[in-house]
Amino acid sequence: MTPDSPKTELSRPLQRVLVLHGPSLSHLGRRQPKIYGRTTLAQINSQLEALAGDLGLTVTCLQTNHEGSLVDEVLGAAAAGYVGILINPAAYTHTSLAIADALAAAEVPAVEVHLTNTQAREEVRRRSLTANACIGTVAGFGPGSYLLGLRGLAEAIGAAQPG
């Protein structure tokens, strides 16, 4: 580079966040829309991708109905280069010690999100086995819960925030 060459700033590689959607979330938009709304999972993922870019992050979004698959993804997140996990365990929130244990063992922070206010729903949905292993929980804001959760996770991991 000569003294007259323009300076180029090397950009920092985007930090990667793993977004995990639990059982039945693939049917958002058509599954009980009075409870879960009409926004589809693809729309939520698109919103997350857009926000992630603004936050200096990139997201990988995965949905599965299988508890073991969620456990495998959580336990492998750090080794795969993820710096955080955004997770909606869905019904497994209330039943899965395996996912709770995986989140506790994960080498990266996790934020739990829910579309509905689980505390205002049936008694069985008011207890989260997974929340204790997460740095925070966001619930009750519909698809916005995911966006709020991603913002909180970005702050926790020190990602670049928009100016």
Instruction: Give the active site residues.
Output: 36, 114
CA distance 86 to 84: 7
Burial of 116 (0-12, 13-18, 19+ CB in 10 A): middle
SS3 119: helix
CA distance 148 to 138: 7
β-bridge partners, 20: 62, 87
139, 114 Cβ separation under 8 angstroms: yes
Q: In this structure, what DSSP letter does residue 160 have? A: P
